[in-house]
């Protein structure tokens, strides 16, 4: 009888800082002069065609066949279809940027990302056409960045944010995150929704796939509350975090990769994890 393959184990030091994306990209400096928005007709036409006629069909195929992506309660976003909103999701796969464009379709999606997303030679123009909003690396660019977010929201777009910031492949928990990324909807008094990725055993034609399938749970719309932007962003963060933790801990959520803290690993004195 063949021996069952042992799960991969990853030892982490910090829930907040460690990143296991497996990329080593030298980040480009992003200042106030970064071309976030181009208003030429040619750029807008190319962006629309690339997004809807090329990217979305490809993303749909990869998500269904490779990721086994399935949505639960996607209909909850229908009430937000008339205007812009922010959608927050946990960060557990290199390809989880595909989630929000499919969840929000046909609404256009712009994704808040790290500077490394536009730092690969030859791909910068492509990812910008597809709606990447790289976070500035210079403080002088923050005010302009907020205006870019505001404009995309007021255009009626969906703004995708991964508040955990770092990728932990197939992680089944929710890592702690602050309320900084909730400043945008708090200031704009914008609606928010949360999405939680969990992993399930593949069945049917794909039952022989070793990697689990991805299930995306969409929560009900959340509207900002509180006496001011500072209070609102904390309230929004708490509601999103609570929803993510609840859905990640309920139902099927297979641990394809085992994550062990450095302290726990050290306590075993070099024993088999």
pLDDT at 188 over 90: yes
The arithmetic mean of pLDDT across residues 129-152, rounded, is: 93
Residue 121 has a pLDDT of 76
% of the chain residues with pLDDT over 70? 93
Condensed to tens digits (0 to 9), the pLDDT of residues 198-235 reads 999 998 777 788 899 999 999 999 987 767 778 899 99
Q: Which CATH class is domain 8-267?
A: alpha beta
The arithmetic mean of pLDDT across residues 65-74, rounded, is: 94
pLDDT at 272 over 70: no
How many Cα atoms within 13 Å fall on the side-chain side of residue 213? 19
List C-alpha distances in Å: 97 to 19, 79, 209. 16, 22, 22
pLDDT at 4 over 80: no
pLDDT confidence band for 1 (50 / 70 / 90): very low
% of the chain residues with pLDDT over 90? 70
Give the Cα separation of 214 and 263 in Å (integer).
Answer: 30
User: Looking at the chain, how many residues does it have?
Assistant: 273
Domain boundaries, the chain: 8-267
pLDDT at 190 over 90: yes
Condensed to tens digits (0 to 9), the pLDDT of residues 15-57 reads 988 888 766 677 778 888 899 999 999 999 999 999 999 999 9
| Mean pLDDT over each residue of the chain, to the nearest integer | 90
Give the Cα separation of 123 and 121 in Å (integer).
Answer: 6
Give the Cα separation of 172 and 175 in Å (integer).
Answer: 9
Q: How many helices (H) and strands (E) does the chain have?
A: 8, 9
Distance of CA 94 to the CA centre of its chain: 9
């Amino acid at each position: 009888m063949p021996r069952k393959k042992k799960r991969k184990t990853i030892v982490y030091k910090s829930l907040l800082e460690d990143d296991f994306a497996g990329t080593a990209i030298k980040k480009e400096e992003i200042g106030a002069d970064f071309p976030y928005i181009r208003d030429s007709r040619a750029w807008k036409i190319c962006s629309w065609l690339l997004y809807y006629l090329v990217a979305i069909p490809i993303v749909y195929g990869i998500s269904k066949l490779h990721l086994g992506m399935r949505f639960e309660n996607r209909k909850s976003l229908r009430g937000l279809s008339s205007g812009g909103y922010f959608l927050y999701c946990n960060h557990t796969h290199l390809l989880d940027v595909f989630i929000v464009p499919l969840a929000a379709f046909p609404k256009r999606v712009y994704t808040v990302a790290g500077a490394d997303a536009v730092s690969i030679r030859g791909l910068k123009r492509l990812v910008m056409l597809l709606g990447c909003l790289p976070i500035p690396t210079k403080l002088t660019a923050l005010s302009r960045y907020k205006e870019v977010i505001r404009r995309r929201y007021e255009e009626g777009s969906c703004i995708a944010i991964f508040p955990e910031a770092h990728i932990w492949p197939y992680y089944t928990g929710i890592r702690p995150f602050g309320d900084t990324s909730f400043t945008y909807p708090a200031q704009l008094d914008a609606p928010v929704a949360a999405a939680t990725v969990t992993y399930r055993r593949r069945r049917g034609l794909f039952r022989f796939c070793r990697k689990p399938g991805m299930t995306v749970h969409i929560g009900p719309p959340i509207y900002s509350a509180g006496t001011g932007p500072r209070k609102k962003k904390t309230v929004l963060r708490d509601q999103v975090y609570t929803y993510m933790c609840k859905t990640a801990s309920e139902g099927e959520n297979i641990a394809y990769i085992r994550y062990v803290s450095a302290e726990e690993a050290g306590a075993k004195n070099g024993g088999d994890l």
